[in-house]
Structure 1
Amino acid sequence: MPTPTDPEVPPGVVLLEAAHELLTAETLLSNRVRARLGLRAADYQALQLIAAAEQSDIPARAKDVSTALGVTAAAATIVADRLVQKDLIVRAQDPDDRRNRTLTLTDTARAALRDAFGSFPDEVQDRLNRVPDSEIAAIRALASDVREILDRTAR
């Protein structure tokens, strides 16, 4: 991979290659975890969303899965059904809105995710925690700008 000091390679190319390297690593990890858990891609994405919501103490609902996956409410329900059948999530009535159901991980799912990821999240989090605030702000701004451009031009 070219270095940022290579005068013949534009900095944007170096940044895109670095982003691609991170994306590839995340994809490979996700594929290994998905295979280990016996999940389809959409099911694994939904499980990740539900786990992240739980980590943030935010209830996850089928409509959140629908939005995150870009699928219909019916498709999100089918994904949730498969996760319930595998004893990875449970549905419960939303205490704030009786028309909705919340989706939460089961102990089986928590144990499976812990086992599948091992110490990975802690090691990555430790490394990320060493990134200076100024660099985090620059990365966030860049990611936001690129996403906005892609959203605007990908229509």
Structure 2
Amino acid sequence: MPSFMDARGSIWKILINTPARRHGPQSLSETISSDVIDALHALQSAESQFRGRLRKRLQLGANELLAIQLISRRQRQGLEVRPDDVTAALGVTSAATSIILTRLVGRRFVTRHSNPLDGRRQYVRLTDEMNSAMANAIGVSQASALDKLGGLTAVESGLVMMLLGSVTDSYDAGALPDTPGRPLL
């Protein structure tokens, strides 16, 4: 399996031999940055299309799929998921979360249960049927993507995490919720 460094070396060779763009000569740094941005947009587009296909295959709404993915991720980490966790992750009201979870429980995708220690706090879990449906719908695509990421060295992982963390922070800081005042458009 070629390493990230091999791919970067190949990209480097391509970039060195790439003619300047129509808008005039660019530095190699600008070309690399532009290619990284293009790759990020391609990743976002592929991920969006993947979610659309997954939603269609599982017959889920966007927030229902996001809730299921959150619950699945947390369960794999050995964590319990509260409805409040879903509310915070989706950025919706607790009433909207209640509707989403009620729909998922009604379709037997999610179960609700009480904290066995005090009986007060409620948790949600994916059913075995939902886990199977997700695995069948996703197929080998996610495993293939994760396998590619698993081949990174510690240094490469650190660089990717730094880049993705920075991009995520930028997205989190942008397009803030509507504030009273003049519309943007």
TM-score interval (norm. to shorter) = 0.7 to 0.9
How much does 1:130 deviate? 1.1
1:16–1:86 Cα change, 3 Å: same
Q: Which moved more, 1:7-16 or 1:74-83?
A: 7-16
| 1:17 matched to 2:35 | no
How much does 1:48 deviate? 0.4
**Aligned CA-pair RMSD:** 1.9
Q: Distance in 1 between matches of 2:141 and 2:171?
A: 30
Identity of aligned residues (%): 30
Aligned to 2:128: 107
Q: Which moved more, 1:139-148 or 1:111-120?
A: 139-148
Q: Distance in 1 between matches of 2:35 and 2:100?
A: 38
| 1:36 matched to 2:57 | yes
Aligned to 1:76: 97
1:59–1:22 Cα change, 3 Å: same
Provide the TM-score with structure 1 as the length reference: 0.88
User: Unaligned stretches of 5+ in structure 2?
Assistant: 1-10, 21-25, 177-185
Instruction: Count residues in correspondence.
Output: 153
Provide the TM-score with structure 2 as the length reference: 0.75
Larger Rg: 2
How much does 1:150 deviate? 4.1
